[in-house]
């Protein structure tokens, strides 16, 4: 079961994050999915997860790639350390494109239920990347 769950997470990272495949998202994320890492007061449901990739990450970064560095699975949990890379070629939270290569380090814990994402906890360096891009756009 652990190897199957790791494969679900790998498939999600390639098909959903890197490729933006909505059909794969529908197949891999449970209807009652909960994102436990959503900011306080922000939506933490299935559709808000799709929104993060489809409306924020993918429009801001071209040549998006996800590299799985490590995975550990136990029971219905998969922990993944990964690196997301891309080129800042679109607006990101009001920051004009810089053309810079970006790297976002991520550690995710996902609970898999019936072959689908049921819950997610995660930490990433996106805020540090945003700060770097703001600095690159600052005059001076």
Cβ within 8 Å of residue 91, ≥6 positions away: 59, 60, 97
Spatial contact of 109 and 121, defined as CB atoms under 8 Å apart: yes
- The domain containing residue 23 runs over which residues? 2-137
State residue 103's pLDDT score.
99
**Cα–Cα nearest to 86, from 10, 18, 14:** 18
State residue 21's pLDDT score.
98
Q: How many helices (H) and strands (E) does the chain have?
A: 5, 5
State residue 138's pLDDT score.
77
State residue 140's pLDDT score.
59
CA angle 136, 137, 140 (to 5 degrees): 80
State residue 1's pLDDT score.
77
CATH no. for residue 57? 3.10.450.50
State residue 68's pLDDT score.
99
> What does pTM read for this prediction?
0.94
Spatial contact of 116 and 32, defined as CB atoms under 8 Å apart: no
What letter would DSSP give residue 17? I
What is the gyration radius of the CA atoms in the chain, in angstroms? 15
Instruction: Going residue by residue through the chain, which has 140 residues, state the pLDDT in tens, using 9 for 90 and above.
Output: 799 999 999 999 999 999 999 999 999 999 999 999 999 999 999 999 999 999 999 999 999 999 999 999 999 999 999 999 999 999 999 999 999 999 999 999 999 999 999 999 999 999 999 999 999 887 75
Structure tokens at 119: 């819950």
Task: Say how far apart CA 84 and CA 107 lie, in whole Å.
Answer: 11
Q: What's the structural domain count of the chain? A: 1
CA angle 35, 37, 39 (to 5 degrees): 105
């Amino acid at each position: 079961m652990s190897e199957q769950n790791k494969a679900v997470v790998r498939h999600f990272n390639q098909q959903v994050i890197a490729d933006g495949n909505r059909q794969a998202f529908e197949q891999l994320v449970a209807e009652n999915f909960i994102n436990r890492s959503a900011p306080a007061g922000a939506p933490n449901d299935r559709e808000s997860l799709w929104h993060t990739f489809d409306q924020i990450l993918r429009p801001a970064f071209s040549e998006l790639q996800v590299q799985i560095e490590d995975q550990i699975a136990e029971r219905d949990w998969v922990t993944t350390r990964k690196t997301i890379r891309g080129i800042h070629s679109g607006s990101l939270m009001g920051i004009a494109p810089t053309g810079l290569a970006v790297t976002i380090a991520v550690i995710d814990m996902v609970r898999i239920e019936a072959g689908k994402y049921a819950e997610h906890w995660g930490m990433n360096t996106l805020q540090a990347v945003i700060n770097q891009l703001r600095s690159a756009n600052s005059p001076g």
